[in-house]
């Protein structure tokens, strides 16, 4: 805490007790270090990762599994009326098109397909090769975390980045349902999570996590 004192010589010394003070915000947005912990749940059962750190979900006609998190609480400066200014954003490299046709795009972070300018990279779908841009215009694909790119979406729009993805806001236990079906058996779904501690002014911190799920 930084305290500034200002007094005038003509004012009695006891008035110095009422000098102006300025408080700095905490050095981090969290109590201690900002940390995240995410887990995979299927059929209301916690899935334990295997020796390689991959989660294994055995398809059992339930068409989704969950990714649930536990986040470090924020300092009081970043909690307004009991609501923490925190957000977890979810993305995946796994897409579904034309109901049962699935494909993956190379990506390594939240909205990585968008940020890494891979929109025009060729994607193999069955016996065909097509770009994600082409597919958006033909049949908007569904990302398994729950968002769809609208047809004729303007990827060059300055605000395009803010219009995509799914998120869980204002709580310390974010949960996202991930689409699942039998067409995905044998595949690995990579889920990318970007957690932002304090989404307003002041100190902020962002943590990126990746969860790899094998569908059996």
Does 19 have pLDDT greater than 70? no
pLDDT at site 118:
56
Give this prediction's pTM: 0.81
Query: What's the token pair of residue 55?
Result: 């989660």
Tell me what pLDDT residue 200 has: 93
Average pLDDT of span 200-213: 95
Q: Give per-residue pLDDT as tens, 107-165.
A: 788 887 766 555 666 666 666 666 666 666 667 788 999 998 887 777 777 877 777 88
Per the model's pLDDT, the better-predicted residue between 16 and 56 turns out to be 56
Q: What is the mean pLDDT of residues 21-44?
A: 84
How high is the pLDDT of residue 16? 45
CA distance 186 to 188: 7
Tens of pLDDT, residue by residue over 64-101, are 999 999 999 999 999 999 999 999 999 999 988 766 67
Q: Are 131 and 118 in contact (CB under 8 A)?
A: no
pLDDT at residue number 119: 62
Q: How large a percentage of the chain has pLDDT more than 90?
A: 53
Rounded CA Rg of the chain: 23
Helices (H), the chain: 112-115, 132-138
The stretch 6-28 carries a mean pLDDT of: 50
Q: Report the pLDDT value the prediction gives residue 7, as an integer from 0 to 100.
A: 38
- Contacts with 197 (C-beta within 8 Å, 6 or more apart), sequence order: 29, 30, 34, 71, 72, 74, 78, 86, 204, 205, 206, 207
- 45 has a pLDDT exceeding 90: yes
Instruction: Say whether pLDDT at 12 is over 60.
Output: no
| H-run or E-run covering 56 | strand 55-57
| Cα 175 from Cα 203, distance rounded (Å) | 25
Computed over every residue of the chain, the mean pLDDT equals 82
Give the pLDDT of residue 20. 52
């Amino acid at each position: 805490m930084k305290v500034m004192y200002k007094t005038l010589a003509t004012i009695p010394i006891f008035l110095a007790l009422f000098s102006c003070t300025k408080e700095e915000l905490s050095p981090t947005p969290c109590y201690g270090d900002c940390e995240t912990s995410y887990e995979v749940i299927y059929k209301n059962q916690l899935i334990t990762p295997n020796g390689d750190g991959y989660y294994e979900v055995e398809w059992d006609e339930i068409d989704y599994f969950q990714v649930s998190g536990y986040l470090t609480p924020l300092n009081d400066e970043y909690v307004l009326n009991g609501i923490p200014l925190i957000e977890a954003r979810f993305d995946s490299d796994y897409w579904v098109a034309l109901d049962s046709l699935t494909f993956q795009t190379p990506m390594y972070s939240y909205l990585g397909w968008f940020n890494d300018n891979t929109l025009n990279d060729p994607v193999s779908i069955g016996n065909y090769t097509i770009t994600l841009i082409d597919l958006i215009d033909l049949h908007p694909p569904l990302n398994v975390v729950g968002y769809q790119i609208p047809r004729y979406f303007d990827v060059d729009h300055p605000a395009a980045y803010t219009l995509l993805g799914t998120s869980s806001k204002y709580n310390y236990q974010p949960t996202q349902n991930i689409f699942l079906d039998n067409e995905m058996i044998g595949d690995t779904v990579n889920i990318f999570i970007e957690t932002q501690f304090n989404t307003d002014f002041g100190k902020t911190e962002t943590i990126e996590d990746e969860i790899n799920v094998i569908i059996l």
